[in-house]
Every structure is written in structure tokens, then in C-alpha cells.
Structure 1
Amino acid sequence: MTMFRYFPGHDGWSYHFAARIVNVCQMGGADFHRCHRVAERIAVGDGDSWFREWNAAGEEREATAAAELARGRPITAREAYLHAHNYFRTAQFFLPGSDPRKAAAYLRCVDCFHAALPFFDNPPERVTFPFEGSHLSGYYWRPLGAARQRHAAIAYLGGVDIISEELWFFAARQMLERGFGVLCFDGPGMGEPLRVRGVHARPDYEVAISAAVDYLVARPDVDAQKIALVGQSMGGYYGGRGAAMEPRLRAAILWGACYDMLDDIYDFWPAVRPQIEWVIGATSEADARDKLKAFTLKGVLKNAKCPVMVTHGEDDTLVAVQAAHKTYADLPEPKHLRIWTGAEGGGIHLMNDNRTDAVPYMLDWLREEVDRPRAATVFP
């Protein structure tokens, strides 16, 4: 594992601290030194201690934000609300889906994110769009400057444990800087659909992605000929389905591949099994194995009509790097494979040990592919 193990003997905790919390600090969503103090108070291996300390940190920042806002200091309040959001998100992370504290902390983290939004320089729209008699929801961020008039757009989604709000701290800001509008949304098995409405993940994820593309095409400020897709982590599976089955996409990035969920995640990283079982609505390991047989890209990727980048860390301990090679092999041209090494940085899951290089690499490729002249797509 090419990163610092903050909690020796607990790679899941160490990964979350180094990859998720420290990277969020770099993007203004937390304070490293406060996080260090919180981590020092946690009894290693005690899940209740993890929840208790991060939840307390969230409560302290939430109270600070409210007090600063009452004093007429919105920028200070925004920062504190964003920190509270991430501390509440971190608190609930390792709780089982059946624990009522998980949903409560999730709702609190979303409330803090919403409280911060009015004080952004470029606040997003909170959006919903139709999905099979109900809806999906997320945020639409418009680019700054002249690109606001009519712009390319990205449908952006996470994976097994990433919520749409967190995508702001992963890459949404860098997408905006490159002139993209960005739809960060929660699909089935994610965020609000899972935690509030019990909507589980499904193998035919292209249905949810097509609903997001429908939303983007209908926006008058979006250039319908320049819609791209980015799926990260288990979103590498979801995005693979979308790239293969949604013909309106101009280009796609699978940021962390997942060719077969049973082989590449469930059996490769046993610690994640309870989370995946919750996400797909399985009642047991046997039920999960049966359901996961359908979560495969085998025989699907050959239908892709747009350029696809597959990118992965060679030392990924969460999703097997072989998933990237299998995904790439099944894709038709044009396609691009980038495996990041530990020596250069970027060897771990989602290149979280070197987002500084990996995110620009991906998004610059995407911008160039979206802008490359091609015959216009005729929509039915």
C-alpha cells in the first residue's frame, strides 16, 4: 500500500483517513490538524469510538458555523459547515446500514453541506429529475465566465460509499475550471436514494445514467453534443454500463475500473462485503453472490460508441487492477488505458495518493475528447 498507515493493522481505517480525509483537507473540506487530534482520541479498532469522535467533531464545527453566521461572517460559516459536513460523513462511514445512527449522521452531513452552499462564489442548483416513477437528485454546477452560456457537461457519479456532496471535493471543482457544467448525482444504491428511500443498486445502471443524460439534454444551457460521463470506484462498473449503452455520450472516464463486482470487489476485498450487501439489498452472503452475478461488464462493453479512458492504480487493494485490463480489453477503439504506479504516486485506489497529477490528467484528456470534431449525434 503506497501510503501512510495512520492506524497500523487497520487498513480500511488507514485508507479512509489518508485517502478521503486528508484529500478533503487539500480541497478546503476539513482541517488536517483537527483531524489528527480527532484520530488520536479514537480507540483503534473500536467502531463506536470512531463514530463518537467524528460525530463530536461535526457537532463542534456545526455549532461554530451557526455562531459565525449569526455574527454576520458567512465565509467563516461556510468553511465550518463544510468541515462539519465531512466529519459527519466520516462518522457514519463504517456503521452498518441497519444502524439508525448512519442515516441520522448522513442527513446531518447533507444539511451542513446545504447550509454552506449559499455562500459559495458559484453555488450549484439543487436538482431532481425523473426516474422510473420517482426521482433522482443531485447538484448542477454551472461553469464560470463565458462558458456559462452554452457549455459541455459531465454526469458525475461515485461508487459504493461516495455520496454526491462528496464529489465536490473529489473533482467537481476542477471540472468547472475546465469549462464543464457538472451534474453530481446519487443513483440507486447511493446517498439519498439508498439511505432515505431504500433504493438499491441494480446491474443495469445505464438506466439511471440515461435519466441523468435526459436531464442534461433538456437544459437549454448545455450543449447536448458535448455530454460526458465520469464514474469512479464502483462507478467504474456503473460508468462502463453507461458508456456501452448510452449513445448520447461524447466521452467517458472510468476512474477506477470494476469489470465484475463479484470477482473484482466482493471477493478481492472481503472487508467491504457488508457494505456491498447493504447497497444491493442482499440479505446474506449467499444472496449477495447470487445478485452480483448480474453485475458484470462481460459482453457489454463492445457496444461503446464513445472514447473511454480506463484509469487505475497498480497497487489498488480495494479493486483488483486486473479489472482495468479486462475492461480495456473489451472496449472498442478509441480507448485509453492509464495504470498509475506506486513509484510515481497514484498506485492506490482512485489514485488517492496522487490526485494532484491524476485528476488533471483525466480531465484534460476529457476536455480534448469532448472538443474533438466529430459527426453530430442525431437524437430521436
Structure 2
Amino acid sequence: MKLSIDHSHHFELLRILGHAYYGGSDVQEVLQIAGRLTPGDDEGWYEAWNALAESLKVTADEAQEKGHLKSASQTYLRAAMYFMISDFYLHANTDDPRILASGRASRAAFMAAIPGLDFEVARVEIPYEGAWLPGYVVKKKGTPAGKRPTLICHSGFDGNKEELVLFPGMAAAERGYTVVAFDGPGQGEVVRETRRAFRPDWDKVVSPVIDFALTRADVDPSRIALLGISLGGVLAPIAAAKDRRIRALVANGGLYSFYDVVSARFPEAVPANRERFDQAVNAAIKTDTMSRWAINHGKLVFGVDNAFDYVNSTKPYVAADAAQVRATTLVIDSEQEGFFEGQPQKLYDALTCEKTLMHFPSSEAVGEHCQAGAEAAGGRKIFDWLDEAMDVKSVKP
């Protein structure tokens, strides 16, 4: 079933629809927006989602004033996710003030939702190169005190830590894990508030997060897992190749070379012919929503001002040291991957550790990139594997 004839709109609608499982959307709200959207209309996308988020925030404020705290929490949470998705196609102008405003509105609504959740969610500041990275620690309410198996998770090209709290955060927490979800350079709050762009030496990002986790009484140093989503499917292996404290690694989905993926969309970039490349990009962004979004967002998160430099700046994002990974590793290969075709196998082949290449078939409703729309079914497959890899089958939340 297609939610839009615009492939990019379809995927993002499916993504936000999937968050309904952990309360981050409501099915009819998403479907009503889908019915009003015009393919390729970037401004229309923003206006529809922002209007819904603003309306829900008003509703949540009223519920909170009247003492309906659970209703307020649930409504704030949906508003947070809708604010988050609203600016998705606005990044042609990386200085558009709505980008910063929507991120702040999303975080404010998310923080307002926390008291009514069935999970303990604490915002944390993780020391990082003289500054800090924003994150959350997530646990199921009522989890016994003491050291717990711990999942550290980060997103990829376009996700953020608030989205990670829903999935995989809540999925892990309800299984007894302590979860640390964070935004790194190029992601979420960090890139919007500080303009810190992605960096290819991702171990320099993850290792301080592990250092932080190890200061906590609810983290078991011998059972630390790292999960990277989308572009995180190469970032996490880069980190795990250097930091041996990681016991288990999940690449969702598996990615060996980001440049191979990006340049395949614009083969004119491969021979480094600037004129031909610019012509191809200009033609694509006029007619293809996905190409327009990828280029515009790429400029923002990689800290460059043109498409040619963006594509070429992705070259170092390759799991060249995958053979150095010692963590037991799950590489996810989704049947309808759409973005990383062939990449999971390349990453798997480069690994020499104990490893699993897991096929996620459409027949089980998990065939989309990063299991979009299937957080229950996807979570089962991921966490059944992770529980066994981390020896946590006996842990009860």
C-alpha cells in the first residue's frame, strides 16, 4: 500500500506512522495529512505538519492545565514527532529560521511529554571535546536498581535522539536495558544549534558516550551494545573498530560505503566533473523529491554550501577497518531497502568477528529501510538477537 505516489513522501509517512506503536503518532492523524499533501510540495509538507503539531500543543496545554496529565503527555509526544518531521523538506536554505524553530518546538513538546510516559526518560549532557552532546537515558519505570545491560544508540543522516527514545529506546527499555540515546555531530539538536557537521572518525563521538555511560550505576560495563540506524549503519562499525568496550553491534541497515550510495544517484560526480555534476543535480532536484531532499539536507549536515562538495565529502564514510571490529555484530539487510542495496552484504563480508547477516523480509512486514512502519515486528527480530548476544535472556524489567 502506497501512502503517496511521491516515493519520498511515502517513506516519511510510513516512518511517522510506525511511531504510533510507542505513541509518537496516531494513525488517523497521519492518514489525514497524507490525503492533503501534494507530491513534491515542500512548503505544503511543512505547513500541514506544523499546523497539526501546533494544534496538538494547544490541546496538550489545555489538558495539562485541567490536570489530565496522561492525556497531556500523550498529546505532547505526538506534537513533538510532528514538529520534528515538519521541517524535513525545508533545507534548501540552511538558514531558514523554521529549521531551528521546529527543532526547538519538538524538543519542548517532548520534554513536556516525559512526566506522563511509562518510562523514565532523563535528559543528559555528555562531555565531548570541551563541550557536550545532548542525550537521554531511558529505562522502564519500576526497573530494579543495579547494573543493567546497556544499549547506546545513535541515528544517521536525518534522525534525532527524541525519535530514538521511541525506537529502539522504548523497545530496549521494556526488555530491561538501560538506554543511552544521543545526537552526535551532524544530527538533530547538535547540527541545528551548533552547526557541528558529521565527522568520519565516529569513534571520537561514541567513545565519550561510553565513558559517560560507565559513570552510571545502572550500566553493566561488560554488556554494552551499540546500535546505529541508517547512515549509523556505517558510523557504528567505524566506532566499534576502535573501541573494544562494545560487546555487541547492530548496523540497521548495514552500510559499507556512504559515498558509493550517494554517488550512485549522481554518477557524474564520480569522474569529478563539476559542470556535468551540477547539470545532473539541477535537473534531478526539479523533479525528484528524494534527490532534492538528500542534496539539501546533505549540505546542512555535512557543513558545505553546494551539492558537489557534499557528495565528495562523503568519501571517508567507509567501514575500511571493519576487520578490526571484535563485537558480535548483526548486519540488517531489508528486502525493500531502497537506499543501501548491496551494502549490507559488503559490510558483512568485510567483518571478521562473530557476525550475522539477517534478512528482513516484506512477508514479515519488516522489509522497508530501518523497518519503517514496523517497530513491533522489527523490534522483536533485533532484540531477540541482541538478548542472546548480550546474554540477557533472564533479565526481567
Compute the displacement of 1:134 (Å).
1.0
One-letter amino acid of the counterpart of residue 81, structure 1: Y
Tell me the equivalent position of 2:384. 364
Displacement of 1:194 in angstroms is 0.1
> TM-score under structure 2 normalisation?
0.88
- Look up the match of 2:371: 351
**Larger mean Cα displacement after TM superposition, 29-38 or 203-212:** 29-38
Deviation at 1:141, TM superposition (A): 1.2
Judged with a 3 Å threshold, the aligned counterparts in structure 2 of structure 1 residues 255 and 64 are, in CA distance, closer, same or farther, namely: same
1:3-27 deviation digits (Å, cap 9, x = unpaired) = x22221x100011112x12101222
Contact 1:189 1:280 in 2 (8 A): yes
For 1:36 and 1:354, the matched residues in 2 are separated by 16
Q: What is the identity percentage for the equivalent residue pairs of Structure 1 and Structure 2?
A: 28
The CA RMSD measured in Å over matched residues stands at 1.8
Q: What SS does the corresponding residue of 1:274 show, helix, strand or coil?
A: helix
- Asked if 1:184 corresponds to 2:181, the answer is yes
Between the aligned partners of 2:141 and 2:196, the Cα distance in structure 1 is 34
- Pick from 277, 281, 300: which aligns with 1:278? 300
Give the secondary structure class of the aligned counterpart of 2:204.
helix
How far, CA to CA, are the matches of 2:43 and 2:333 in structure 1?
33
Displacement after TM superposition at 1:363 (Å): 1.1
What per-residue deviation string (whole Å, max 9, x for no partner) do you get for residues 112-131 of structure 1?
00011122233211101111
Listed as ranges, the matches of 1:35-50 within 5 Å are 35-50=30-45
Contact 2:16 2:373 in 1 (8 A): no
Matches of residues 292-303 of structure 1 in structure 2 within 5 Å? 292-298=314-320, 300-303=321-324
Is 1:88 equivalent to 2:110 in the alignment?
A: no
Q: Alignment partner of 2:214: what SS?
A: helix
Partner of 2:354: 334
Task: Pick the aligned partner of 1:319 from 332, 336, 340.
Answer: 340
Matching of residue 220 in structure 1 with residue 242 in structure 2: no
Aligned counterpart, 2:163: 166
CA displacement, residues 253-311 of structure 1 (integer Å, 9 cap, x when unaligned):
1111121111124534745222222211122222123321111112x101111111000
Instruction: Check the 8 A contact 1:265/1:319 in 2, yes or no.
Output: no
Q: Distance in 2 between matches of 1:122 and 1:27?
A: 11
> Is the partner of 2:67 in helix, strand or coil?
coil
1:135 corresponds to which of 132, 137, 153: 132
Corresponding residue SS for 1:196: helix
- Name the CA distance, whole Å, in 2 between partners of 1:264 and 1:119: 41
1: distance between equivalents of 2:205 and 2:155? 13
Residue identity opposite 1:195 in structure 2: R
Q: Quote the offset at 1:46 in angstroms.
A: 1.4
Is the 1:157–1:231 contact (alpha carbons within 8 Å) kept by the matching residues of 2?
yes
Q: 1:266–1:257: structure 2 CA closer, same or farther, 3 Å change rule?
A: farther
| Amino acid in the other structure paired with 2:77 | L
Letter of the structure 2 residue corresponding to residue 66 of structure 1: D
Shift of 1:166: 0.5
How many equivalent pairs are there?
366
2:28 counterpart of 1:16: no
Superposed displacement of residue 227, structure 1: 0.9
Q: State how far apart, in whole Å, the 2-side matches of 1:164 and 1:106 are.
A: 11
Counterparts of 2:196 and 2:264, CA distance in 1: 24
1:378 maps to none
Opposite residue 174 of structure 2, the aligned amino acid is E
Calculate the TM-score normalised by the size of structure 1: 0.92
Correspondence for 1:256 = 253
Output the CA distance in 1 between the equivalents of 2:189 and 2:255.
23
**1:75 corresponding residue in structure 2:** 70
SS in 1 for 2:89: coil
Q: Is the 8 A contact 1:266 1:273 kept in 2?
A: no
Unaligned runs of 5+ in 2: 266-289, 393-397
Alignment partners' CA distance in 1, 2:143 and 2:312: 50
Matching residue's letter, 1:119 = G
Q: State the alpha-carbon separation in 1 of the partners of residues 16 and 295 from structure 2.
A: 22
1:44 maps to a residue whose letter is: P
Q: Deviations over 1:23-48 (max 9, x none)?
A: 01222112111222223333332111
In 1: Cα distance, 2:261 partner to 2:303 partner: 19
The more displaced of 260-269 and 21-30 is 260-269
CA contact (8 A) 2:261 2:340 kept: yes
Q: Which residue of 2 aligns with 1:310?
A: 331
Q: Is the 8 A contact 1:232 1:256 kept in 2?
A: yes
Letter in 1 for 2:180: L
